[in-house]
Chain A
Amino acid sequence: MKTRTRSLTYREALNEALHEEMERDKNVFVYGIDVGDHNRIFNSTKGLVEKFGRHRCFSTPLCEDTLVGFGLGAAINGLRPVNIHMRVDFLLLAMNQLLNMVASYRYGTGDKLKVPMVIRAIIGRGWGQSYQHSKSLQSYFAHIPGLKVIMPTTPADAKGLLKSAIRDDGPVIFIEHRWLYDAVEEVPISQEPINIGESRILRAGTDITVVGTSWMNIEALKAAEILAKQGISIEIVDPRTISPLDDSLIVKSVIKTGHCIVADFDWINCGFSAEISARINEKCFGKLKSPVQRIGFAETHCPCTRPLENLFYPTAIDMIRAVEKKLGLHKTDLSKENFYSYENKFRGPF
């Protein structure tokens, strides 16, 4: 029997996951700076105040570190907090609670106190965000044992993984790209939770493997579509969960193709792409036909002005050029291609 689906945006998927989980479990509550205001975190928390009341969805004072510790206290005392940060950059103010407290609390109490807590953090790009509203930080969090880190790309994954994150005995950091909020996908009417720690083949292929995170998968899909016209078959693997990382699909794919490009939505130096590259080195050494290539942000700060910002972020074009180089192809004429333009789709403000 075919699963019944309907078209859902990423934003709606997040919103539905929250509604469904809050209905299912009265211990779930959502809080953070501006969570309950009229904008409702880009509408991802729409309807929660009205349906569940201000004690289960509320705005708070501006104190990120204390907000994360607050969630820890609520979690060890029987609740399931979802704490939202409108920019992942703001979580830098909460690193003490995150790394010194939340990550190790269960361990330090001899496994007696669990921390079923979710931290949603939004990453983004464009519209002049500049260097304090544009970081990604997944490798920071993933470096610390005890924190689970998720970066869903598609609406179905966003819904299924957020449901799992809320039900998990945590703690879980859930990173959402702002540009993905308008992504649309057919999502099952009753989307089941998706297991944390399972990667996914986003597009099957045979010639080269691309491992992408978050928005970079959208760029990878575009690159794959263009290269397919000349018979190049790209396989895209989306880890979905950054930590704990399931590398089995990545390894299987690279053994098959012998080539790998890692496109992480982050800087390259000491980043998640280095982790993927190292795993491939450890597990696919003899099968590699070319060195693993990493694609990421330029090794500088994110500038505000558009011409410089264009140089900062990698795109489908960078991926196409990398594939051509790896496979010894001529440069594809891209002048007729229509690449993602946020001017056409996204007017801001963020």
Chain B
Amino acid sequence: MASQAILKRNLAFYNKLCLIREAEKAIIRHYGENEMKTPMHMSLGAEAIAVGVCEALNKKGQILCSYRSHAVYLANTNETNIFFGELYGKSTGMAKGRAGSMHLSSPETNFLGSSAIVASTLPVAIGAAYANKIRSTGKIVCVFFGDGAVDEGAFWESLNMACLMKLPVLFVCEDNGYAVHNPATERHGYDSITKIVQKFKCNVFESSSTDVQQIYTLTRQALSTMRRTHQPSFLHLKYYRYLQHVGINEDFSSGYRSRDEFEVWLKSDPIEIQRKKLKKIGVTEKQLRSLENRIKDRIEKSIQLAKSAPFPSQEDLYERRPGA
């Protein structure tokens, strides 16, 4: 019988994994209604990274990420009303519909933003970390980016500056092996991202696990090493993108990757792994179903709320400044 603490932690993990997966499934169900008019870069397959890292960061971590931001947003905020408000372009969204799926943020919960230009939040992350360092806030900045970002100059520039200036930054490379449709072998003039980053004054960790507990533990290790060494940490985490680069469909028939590849990863689906683990430590099927149904209801309510919410006012077209 598992201890209460372990049970509680594992349930918390599952709640968030399930929230992300069900929110994405809801988007897939409703997207065809043509009311969410924003390009969706779906997070299916990446759930364990977002949840494991965000849980380990806790409240001391500020977050920036790429346009594939749904999982990170949900793991950070644990809310879906504002999320769907933004996706539906309504006044209830965090940016009143100005931002859409590719620019989610939640400054109130330390999620400083996401961007649709590859690698563009890396420089922002190191600047934010510099502010934390000289203001002695005790906060660290975690920046999520895909393996495509490693192709960009901004990645190397930011890594260099963070290592040089000993900035409290956690780099999280979510490596799905493809930049849009182009595999790493077509893009890299080197063998391994990890090996190159190790040459910098940086603590490097890698994993191909889709088990949220393992990612959580590895992240905590990366954070404690960062505090001890006063150098940034780098997590290189492999996963598989279940759907097309942008959109809600599978794309295994398009030729650049195969369903066989997907099937291998699907055997260790992050939600299934955690579900099995919970059953193993004594959670019943009935309890799991009830938890899952609660999440599904919550998401559907958020969607209905977003659908019925008003669009932003005409004044929201322009930036608002205090006193203006």
Contact = CB atoms under 8 A, between A and B. Distances in A.
B127 A77 contact: yes
Contacts of B62: 77
Given A61-B164, A65-B123, A73 B129 contact: yes
Interface string B121-158: 11111111111101100000100000000000110011
B105 A96 contact: no
Given A61-B161, A69-B120, A79-B131, A109 B125 contact: no
A324 to B, nearest CB: 45
A32 to B, nearest CB: 12
A61 B131 CA distance: 18
A109 B160 contact: no
A101 B115 contact: yes
Contacts, number: 131
B112 interface: yes
B interface: dominant SS: helix
A67 B157 CA distance: 9
Contacts of B135: 27, 77-79
Nearest to A75: B127
Given A78-B135, A113-B113, A101 B124 contact: yes
Contacts of B127: 69-75, 77, 81
A96 B160 contact: no
A33 to B, nearest CB: 12
B39 to A, nearest CB: 15
Interface in B84-110: 93-96, 98-99, 103, 105, 107-108
A107 B319 contact: yes
B124 A72 contact: yes
A105 B107 CA distance: 12
B117 interface: yes
Given A65-B154, A69-B154, A109-B95, A76 B319 contact: no
B321 interface: yes
Given A65-B153, A113-B107, A72 B131 contact: no
A111 B157 contact: no
A81 B128 CA distance: 11
Contact of B157 (A63, A76, A108): A63
A74 B128 contact: yes
A310 B319 CA distance: 44
A97 B95 contact: no
Interface string B187-200: 00000000000000
B320 interface: yes
A4 interface: no
Contact of A72 (B105, B123, B158): B123
A169 interface: yes
A81 B126 CA distance: 13
A100 interface: yes
A190 interface: no
B161 A69 contact: no
Interface in A100-123: 100-101, 105-113
A61 B160 contact: yes
A314 interface: no
Interface in A1-38: 27, 29
Interface hub of A27, A70, A78 (most chain B Cβ within 10 A): A70
3 pairs of A and B residues whose beta carbons are closest in the complex: A69-B123, A73-B127, A77-B131
